[in-house]
Amino acid sequence: MDTPQKRKPHILLLGLHHDAVDYSKWPGLDREMLRTSFARTQEMLDNEGFTTRWCLTPANETAEAQLANDIKDFRPEVVMIGAGIREDPELLLLFERLLNRIIALSPGSKITFNTSLEDTVSAVRRWSK
């Protein structure tokens, strides 16, 4: 008899779409570097046995709708919010709106933050147990 396979933890990666980033605030970063970083992050987490989905939002009032669309059928155990959203003081209200939307749409999800690509896996592991 086959034993049911355990569902891999679902991780929603929330960040600004590469076209929504104000690169003047991030010296040394450009669109291609950011897109490459997004791909590497997803690959690292997938290789660790997680199921990942990116939610890349604009930096405007449609960000909440984008999040709602990306989270509804995914049911993440963990939502990692990227630095582009959480570290820019001009995006504080967006950050608050997105946090509150996560709580409303996926109340069991844990929230985590990384400090760089290198500690992304450990940040997700902290809350995916």
Per-residue pLDDT of 12-31, as tens digits, reads 999 999 999 999 998 999 99
The angle, 0 to 180 degrees and rounded to 10, between the axes of the packed helices 63-71 and 92-105 is 30
Res 97 pLDDT > 90: yes
State the pLDDT confidence band at 3, using cuts at 50, 70 and 90: low
pTM: 0.90
92-114 per-residue burial string, b: 16 or more CB within 10 A, e: under 16:
eebbeebbebbeebbeebbebeb
For 44-78, the pLDDT digits (tens) are 999 999 999 999 999 999 999 999 999 988 999 99
Distance of CA 124 to the CA centre of its chain: 10
